[in-house]
Amino acid sequence: MSAPPAQDNSNEASAGTARSPIPALLVLEDGRSFRGTSFGATGETFGEAVFSTAMTGYQETLTDPSYHRQVLIATAPHIGNTGWNEQDNESRRIWVAGYVVRDPSRMHSSWRASGSLDDELRRQGIVGIADLDTRALTRHIRENGAMRVGLSTIETDPQKLLARVLETQPMLGADLVADVTVASKQIIAAVGTKRFTVAAIDLGIKDMTPTRLAQRGIEVHVLPAASTLDDVTAVSPDGVFFSNGPGDPAAAGRAVDLLTEILDAGLPYFGICFGNQIFGRALGFDTYKLKYGHRGINQPVMDLARGTVEITAQNHGFAVDAPLGQPVTTRWGTARVSHVCLNDDVVEGLELRNASGRLTAFAVQYHPEAAAGPHDADYLFDRFIDVMAGKDA
Amino acid sequence: MPRRTDISSIMVIGSGPIVIGQACEFDYSGTQACRVLREEGFRVILVNSNPATIMTDPEYADATYVEPIRPEYLEQIIATERPDALLATLGGQTALNAAMTLFKSGVLERYGVELIGASVDAIEKAENRLEFNQIVTSLKVPGADAGVARSRICQVMDEVLAAAGILGYPIVVRPSFTMGGLGSGIAYNQEELIRIAGAGLSASPVTEVLIEESIIGWKEFELEVMRDGSDNVVIVCSIENLDPMGVHTGDSITVAPAMTLTDREYQAMRDVAIAVTRAVGVETGGCNVQFALNPVDGRLIVVEMNPRVSRSSALASKATGFPIAKIAAKVAVGYTLDEILNDITGETPASFEPSLDYVVVKCPRFAFEKFPTADSTLTTHMKSVGEAMAIGRSFTEALGKALRSLEDPAALFDFTRPIIESVDELLRRIARPHDHRLALIMQALRAGATSAQVVEATRIDPWFVDQLQLIRETADQVCSAPELTGGLMRLSKRHGLSDDQIADLRNLSPDVVRGLRWAFGIRPVYKTVDTCAAEFAARTPYHYSSYDEETEVEPRARPAVIILGSGPNRIGQGIEFDYSCVHAAMALRDAGYETVMVNCNPETVSTDYDTTDRLYFEPLTLEDVLEVVHAELAAGPVAGVLVQLGGQTPLKLAQALKDRGVHIVGTSPEAIHLAEDRGEFGALLSAAGLLSPQHGTAVSAGQALAVAHTIGYPVLVRPSYVLGGRGMEIVYDDASLVSYIQRATEIDPSHPVLVDRFLDDAIEIDIDALFDGTELYIGGVMEHIEEAGIHSGDSACTLPPITLGTETIDQIRSSTEIIAKRIGVKGLINIQYALLGDVLYVLEANPRSSRTVPFVSKATGTPLAKAAARISLGAMIAELRSEGMLRSGGDGATALASAPIAVKEAVLPFNRFRSPEGVGVDPLLGPEMRSTGEVMGLDAAFGPAFAKSQAASFSALPTTGTVFVSVANRDKRHAIFPIKRLADLGFRILATEGTAQVLRRHDVAVTVLRKASQGPGPNGELTVVQAIAAGEIDLVVNTPHGHSLHGSPRQDGWEIRGAAIRAGVPCVTTTQALAACVQGVESLRQGTPGVRSLQSWNAAIQADLP
């Protein structure tokens, strides 16, 4: 057995004396500041400070477009241990606006790694900060809510950085979909025999979603967020999918309008995360910003129909305000909350049944495609197939 | 689903005595389970033979049976109590096996008892290797290709070689149908394979070997799984072993959460673990699944699964704050995970997966120093006796804390010792997994070995090796910096260096380093284990230290008592001390104090966040304890620190803590010193007119000889300040004495060797007593069954004493009172006496909780440790009598007709160890303690109580069959009567020539057996060793014949006793024990003794009190 090649490179790095750390500063919009050292690229960055409690999957998380404009705090102290590889990206680039970790790894150990996290952050110009009390920071956000933050390796005066933090746009009301969506249609071929065609509206889609659909014989047409109903019907879809994505759903009126037209057209619908919030708004529910959101891969969700619990990957700062246990009549049929987070009763899924009680459209607030996260909710992709096949689901 | 209503009473089986591989983690799990089940309104019937457990405290069950965990006793209990259900998944393999036996014999069906937790089918599937492998290979898990180790069955050498060609070297050879791994081995090349497989083929009765690919050196992981009746499954914790495959998990350094997995690999493992759990059919409860992962290509192999709560479950519970046993008990009675609240957040459900924002490191604690001839190579056979866990915000911080928690100087990183070995030599030595390997790896790195070389030699993951490099570099910086700056100090603390290590590197005293550190304002903060990485607020103050920025210790108003626990289990200091600490916590909480526990042993009840108001999971070193005291003083008033209940670990810290201004409650450090210091204690005794064996101290061989010549041989020699008789020996002549002094380490004027006259043939007596400054309360008087010279921890004893007269008891009482008063005890004191003829000698006094406190408490129904804690904080015995904590009249020495005879028996780990040559270690008892655990036998009479104690300690007495006798000349007189009695009872008697001659003179029909040294006879007559191995002997009576040059027993006796241990035949090594045996045998011949619950015994005692 030979040691993985990556290890030899990093040994050279670790054999020398540790590089002299560059100081870095983190300032929250309420004035609390933390000092640490530079990690990844140097420079200055701003965004909404949020924390994720996932202990694995930093590569998937960093490349998740839903984290656009957010400065991510990893609660897991050791980050970078398995380096960076060619297989685990969830999109074409790293989206987080900044990265806050406690102990970045000096080297990496994984037979799949092709490089280090630190190098990748530098290559993509992502500013990070390390060696600070991430738990204290996390607790602060838990108690005071997600808020704007600035990271800098240039500015050493917290007051000056704070002034710049306060100039940035807050997440509430932010329409960020245009930043992350594909420029033009992309087709992901079905694996094996093609059974269905799905039009997937890219509001910030993760690669694993079309992969999971394709694995089930679905040809996925990923469409830009600005697509019209005509663009959608042009691919003759058996069903329509709205993806996850960044920003405030209340600012995504266009997507809500499109989904309304799709439901009017009677097309089967499945949505994930942002796609759930858009669905909620289309059904007439409101959405609201959570104090500090749900971000992690250990969130318990109850499937109210089956009465079972699934452990889910979540990444949402907004949620749908819909009544639990009270079906609501819409012009398409009866809508109800299908899934709920057991930690705090936040709506985690919605479903729509037609007059004959058949499921026609549904969405979940969490991530059945996982990546990172557990695969417990994988069955939802099968449910989408059943809906498209006209089966009772 | 809510709680089941169709069952109302549940029997819980514990795990029996502490043995290697099965320790107090099952007391922790069982205690949790009993507590939960009672809260849920079930009638709980508990069976456990181990009195030193919290679970066997009468308040944890409705009926507590301290009886042997054997079918004949369990059936009686079932017949008496008629439980509706049996929960056997919380008592380790012992309970699981017992349940399977009861199922197979039809007892469960006969009494209509339902097995809950895991079904018989699931247990069988998980335990049957072939069936389990089939389950794993037939799993359909999308995206996760998990299998089992590849293998081929071969009948001839050509097939073997062909198989090796496919599977590659190294290769494991397992002959079919041989016992105990006979003929198996690992071949690294063709030459070895031909040799091993050749031997294997001939060893196999069917000429067949299994050729299996070796997964030694692969990465090893374990997932803790919890499943409920609605098929909700969660992974509680992932654990990564630093030591790769090939070392038993219990002997490995383990880390939680896994450090070197990407999400893809982790989720694949998670999917497989869940699929395995479902396929095996563990329906309600916890289990664990072990994985091996090839670091080259990620191939995943399922190694095994345990369909029950395990050692790892206890570790995972402490590591995550998710109480596995408690939740397992709840789901076993019908709840689903979403219906169970997470205690720690108090608002979120248990149907989630804990997320950690810290790193947990567990290190095993070994006891090879107790078994000098044993091979210290770590294999798949567990050898450690305990473990310490530490939590830090980084791996390096946690590792440093875990290593110093072990209280084993050889386990610590030594950054200053000059390295004399070459890199090659060090690399060669670290390739062998052994007890102090990590410290040696650090030496290799210091010597200049590269990370790659260390990875190559050890197969430890490069990430971990780099972390060791990081520690080394940090130490280098500390060493070479022109000045010890605040920044450097902080850096070194963040990477786990202790004040002592920094002091060593800077050539300063630890106090100076500490003072400097404090002057820099560098102190640890205390974070909280909250199950959720701070996503929700925690309401349980379960803390760990870290050199981070923000502390989470909340202010409080009530005065706190800080209880120092006993650290990792080791021989001589185990669960008994944890028991006392837990009791102290209970009593002090009831008395209105805020209780604060400091301990680092993940197996224990004391480190359950439910036990005390606050828990600090911290090493028990001066540095770490001072910081906890500092943090608690900042939080509110502190009444003091309680050191006398956790054994030697906290006691050793007492004086140093006091010197630094910490208030020690109870017996003062000076009083402790007075009892420990031979000279001062000797003076105390003479002043009080009490006798002790003549003694002296020596710091050289010459001095030792002079002392020995004055007082006469045999003498007992030992180092000062010991627990568990470390390094204690009885020597009979000058040569062995000189040899002892030469072998003894750490002898200097402040640590002299103690030389005592050894009282041959004396009866040893142990007492545990309470003293409040004015009144003495004897907890119990125990009479040892073996004579003085056998360590009290290894000796069987009875309470009440069965041969002592009233005058002796009175004399013991008055002597104890004088000693307690003169020492200045406030709390517990343990005194060992020897009675030779009618003369009472004081052997030693320990002003602290002793190993026997739980036994005495349980046998007399009096909570001595609780009382001691109260007395330490100022309560008087009279007050405790009126509260009902202590007996209102008389005390534990008062004879009561209704009280049971309690027999304590020790359990020894000899069968776990082999020398490097594969020879067993000598199972002889001596002044050095070697037992890992104990059991209690309770009955109205001595015979059955003794028989129960033997049955519970794995050496059940025979009622018929063959007895082999070989006794030393000095013992022959005492052996005649009991052997003759056995012969009268129908036993066939075999003996060696000398013993046979004496027996014949007493009209005992006896057959002479050949000694091992004589070899088999000309007509194939077996030697005694062969006869034992062949199962022809049911009881061995062998007392040591004198001694050899180095004070070790003669070869023949060694071989006889070794054979008995290997064959599982009861082996009696003293004539006193032989007499007890005969009484036990006689009682067993009347039928299995009856069973009776502690509650029933206690009610009888209460009614009988004066």
Residues of A in contact with B533 (CB under 8 A): 51, 53, 75-76, 135, 138, 296
**Torsion on CA atoms B1024, B1026, B1028, B1032, rounded to nearest 10:** -100
A33 to chain B, closest Cα gap in Å: 12
Q: What is the pLDDT of residues B1041-1065, one digit of tens each?
A: 655 444 444 566 777 877 887 788 8
Q: Is B290 annotated as a binding residue?
A: yes
Are A254 and A232 in the same domain? yes
Q: Is B207 on the interface with A (CB under 8 A)?
A: no
Residues of A in contact with B355 (CB under 8 A): 53-55, 75-76, 296, 298
Q: Would you call B840 helix, strand, or coil by DSSP?
A: strand
- Mean predicted confidence (pLDDT) in B855-869: 96
Residues 6+ apart with CB under 8 A from A16: none
Q: Which tokens sit at B188?
A: 């690294």
Tell me the HSE value of A236 on the side-chain side, using a 13 A CA sphere: 2
pLDDT at B920: 65
Q: Which tokens sit at A307?
A: 């009465």
CATH fold of B125-146+216-356: D-amino Acid Aminotransferase; Chain A, domain 1 (3.30.470)
pLDDT at A43: 97
Active site residue A341: no
pLDDT at B828: 97
Task: Tell me which chain A residue has its CA closest to the CA of residue B551.
Answer: A136
Q: Is B59 annotated as a binding residue?
A: no
- Residue B931 in this model has a pLDDT that exceeds 50: yes
The full 3-state SS of B285-310, as one line of letters, equals EEEEEEEEECCCCCCEEEEEEECCCC
Give me the total of CB pairs closer than 8 Å, taking one residue from chain A and one from chain B.
203
pLDDT at B1051: 61
At which residue do the structure tokens 């604690």 appear?
A: B365
Q: Is A367 on the interface with B (CB under 8 A)?
A: no
Stretch among A136-150, B663-677, B746-760 having the lowest mean pLDDT: B746-760
Q: What is the pLDDT of residues A216-238, one digit of tens each?
A: 999 999 999 999 999 999 999 99
Q: Cβ–Cβ of A78/B394 closer than 8 Å?
A: yes
pLDDT at B1033: 94
Are A125 and A205 in the same domain? no
Alpha-carbon gap, residue B208 to B201, rounded angstroms: 5
Q: What is the pLDDT of residues B395-446, one digit of tens each?
A: 999 999 999 999 999 999 999 999 999 999 999 999 999 999 999 999 999 9
**Better pLDDT: B1072 or A361:** A361
Task: Tell me which chain B residue has its CA closest to the CA of residue A215.
Answer: B142
- Residue B1 in this model has a pLDDT that exceeds 80: no
pLDDT at B1049: 46
Number of neighbours of residue B1003 by Cβ within 10 angstroms:
9
Are A362 and A233 in the same domain? yes
The residue among A260, A314, A304 whose CA lies nearest residue A282 is A260
Q: Is A35 on the interface with B (CB under 8 A)?
A: no
The residues of chain B that CATH labels 1.10.1030.10 are: 365-519
Q: What is the pLDDT of residues B263-279, one digit of tens each?
A: 999 999 999 999 999 99
User: Which of the residues B225, B391, B456, B463 would you substitute to probe the A interface, choosing the one with the greatest number of A C-beta atoms within 10 Å?
Assistant: B463
pLDDT at B791: 81
Total count of domains within chain A: 2
- Residue A2 in this model has a pLDDT that exceeds 80: no
pLDDT at A6: 37
Residues of A in contact with B267 (CB under 8 A): 56, 370, 372-375
Is A393 inside any structural domain?
no
Residue B824: C-alpha distances to residues B584, B819, B844, B870, B872 (Å): 20, 8, 15, 16, 12
pLDDT at A20: 72
Tell me the HSE value of B1074 on the side-chain side, using a 13 A CA sphere: 25
Q: Phi/psi at A263 (nearest 5 deg)?
A: -65, -40
The residues of chain B that CATH labels 3.40.50.20 are: 9-116
CATH label, B951-1084, candidates 3.60.10.10, 3.40.50.1380, 2.40.128.20, 3.20.20.140: 3.40.50.1380
**Using alpha carbons only, what angle is made at residue B600 by residues B95 and B484, rounded to the nearest 5 degrees?**
155
Q: What is the pLDDT of residues A316-331, one digit of tens each?
A: 999 999 999 999 999 9
A289 to chain B, closest Cα gap in Å: 17
The parent domain of residue A86 ranges over 10-167
Q: Cβ–Cβ of A53/B355 closer than 8 Å?
A: yes
Chain B from 729 to 768: CB within 8 A of any A CB: none
The residues of chain B that CATH labels 3.40.50.1380 are: 951-1084
pLDDT at A309: 96
Q: Is B807 on the interface with A (CB under 8 A)?
A: no
pLDDT at B478: 97
Q: Would you call B154 helix, strand, or coil by DSSP?
A: strand
- Mean predicted confidence (pLDDT) in B329-346: 94
- Residue B65 in this model has a pLDDT that exceeds 60: yes
Pair B575, B23: CB distance under 8 Å: yes
pLDDT at B694: 87
pLDDT at B404: 97
CATH at residue A283: 3.40.50.880
Alpha-carbon gap, residue B582 to B586, rounded angstroms: 6
- What's the ipTM? 0.95
A144 to chain B, closest Cα gap in Å: 12
Q: What is the pLDDT of residues B94-103, one digit of tens each?
A: 999 999 999 9
Q: Cβ–Cβ of A53/B533 closer than 8 Å?
A: yes
Alpha-carbon gap, residue B521 to B517, rounded angstroms: 6
A337 to chain B, closest Cα gap in Å: 18
Are A68 and A136 in the same domain? yes
Q: Which residues pair with A221 in a beta bridge?
A: A187, A199
Q: What is the pLDDT of residues B203-220, one digit of tens each?
A: 787 888 888 899 999 999
Residue B924's pLDDT band, with cuts at 50, 70 and 90, is low
pLDDT at B918: 60
Is A181 inside any structural domain?
yes
- Mean predicted confidence (pLDDT) in B861-871: 97
Q: Cβ–Cβ of A77/B393 closer than 8 Å?
A: yes
pLDDT at B410: 93
- Mean predicted confidence (pLDDT) in B304-323: 92
Pair B699, B764: CB distance under 8 Å: no
Q: Cβ–Cβ of A7/B462 closer than 8 Å?
A: yes
Q: What is the pLDDT of residues A371-391, one digit of tens each?
A: 999 999 999 999 999 999 988
Q: Is B232 on the interface with A (CB under 8 A)?
A: yes
- Mean predicted confidence (pLDDT) in B298-303: 94
Residue A3's pLDDT band, with cuts at 50, 70 and 90, is very low
Q: Is B757 annotated as a binding residue?
A: yes
pLDDT at B978: 95
Active site residue A310: no
The residue among B218, B217, B200, B214 whose CA lies nearest residue B171 is B214
Stretch among A176-190, A316-330, B72-86, B1013-1027 having the lowest mean pLDDT: B1013-1027
Stretch among A320-329, B289-298, B306-315 having the lowest mean pLDDT: B306-315
The residue among B868, B951, B900, B873 whose CA lies nearest residue B579 is B868
Q: What is the pLDDT of residues B353-393, one digit of tens each?
A: 999 999 999 999 998 888 877 888 888 778 899 999 999 99
Q: Is B248 annotated as a binding residue?
A: yes
Ranges assigned E (strand) in B667-824: 695-698, 715-719, 729-731, 753-757, 763-771, 776-787, 797-799
Are A122 and A67 in the same domain? yes
The residue among A61, A180, A80 whose CA lies nearest residue A120 is A80
Task: Tell me which chain B residue has its CA closest to the CA of residue A310.
Answer: B232
- Residue A17 in this model has a pLDDT that exceeds 70: no
Is A1 inside any structural domain?
no
Alpha-helical regions (H) of B86-210: 92-104, 107-110, 120-127, 129-137, 157-167, 190-203
Residue B332's pLDDT band, with cuts at 50, 70 and 90, is very high
Are A288 and A323 in the same domain? yes
Q: What is the pLDDT of residues B539-556, one digit of tens each?
A: 999 999 999 999 999 999
- Structurally, at CATH architecture level, domain B9-116 sits in 3-Layer(aba) Sandwich (3.40)
Is A191 inside any structural domain?
yes
Q: What is the pLDDT of residues B565-605, one digit of tens each?
A: 999 999 888 899 999 999 999 999 999 999 999 999 999 99
Active site residue A273: yes
Q: Cβ–Cβ of A107/B462 closer than 8 Å?
A: yes
- Residue A289 in this model has a pLDDT that exceeds 70: yes
B413 to chain A, closest Cα gap in Å: 19
CB-closest option in B232, B261, B358 to A56: B261
Chain A from 115 to 154: CB within 8 A of any B CB: 132-136, 138-139, 142
Are A264 and A352 in the same domain? yes
CATH 3.10.250.10 is right for the domain spanning B694-758: no
Q: Cβ–Cβ of B533/A138 closer than 8 Å?
A: yes
Are A227 and A136 in the same domain? no
Domain final position from A167, A190, A220: A167
Q: Which of A108, A294, A339, A367 is catalytic?
A: A367
- Residue B170 in this model has a pLDDT that exceeds 80: yes
Are A232 and A279 in the same domain? yes
The residues of chain B that CATH labels 3.30.1490.20 are: 150-213, 694-758
Alpha-carbon gap, residue B698 to B749, rounded angstroms: 8
pLDDT at A13: 38
At which residue do the structure tokens 């994988």 appear?
A: A378
Q: Which helix (H) or strand (E) holds A179?
A: helix A177-180
pLDDT at B453: 98
Are A132 and A209 in the same domain? no
Residue B746's pLDDT band, with cuts at 50, 70 and 90, is low
Chain A from 346 to 365: CB within 8 A of any B CB: none
A297 to chain B, closest Cα gap in Å: 8
Domain final position from A129, A148, A167: A167
- Mean predicted confidence (pLDDT) in A169-193: 94
Are A103 and A220 in the same domain? no
Q: Which CATH class is domain B365-519?
A: mainly alpha
CATH 3.30.1490.20 is right for the domain spanning B150-213: yes
User: Chain centroid to CA B819: how far?
Assistant: 32
Q: Cβ–Cβ of B395/A78 closer than 8 Å?
A: yes
CATH at residue A139: 3.50.30.20
**Better pLDDT: B5 or B714:** B5
- Residue A7 in this model has a pLDDT that exceeds 50: no
Give, as one character, the DSSP assignment of residue A359. Answer: E
Are A19 and A94 in the same domain? yes
How much is the mean pLDDT over chain B?
A: 91
- Residue B1076 in this model has a pLDDT that exceeds 50: yes
Q: What is the pLDDT of residues B943-971, one digit of tens each?
A: 999 999 999 988 899 999 999 999 888 88
**Better pLDDT: B238 or B1020:** B238
Domain final position from A109, A143, A167: A167
Q: Which of A155, A273, A339, A351 is catalytic?
A: A273
User: Chain centroid to CA B258: how far?
Assistant: 26
Residues of A in contact with B532 (CB under 8 A): 53, 298
Alpha-carbon gap, residue B390 to B529, rounded angstroms: 12
Residue A59's pLDDT band, with cuts at 50, 70 and 90, is very high
Pair A365, A347: CB distance under 8 Å: yes
A113 to chain B, closest Cα gap in Å: 10
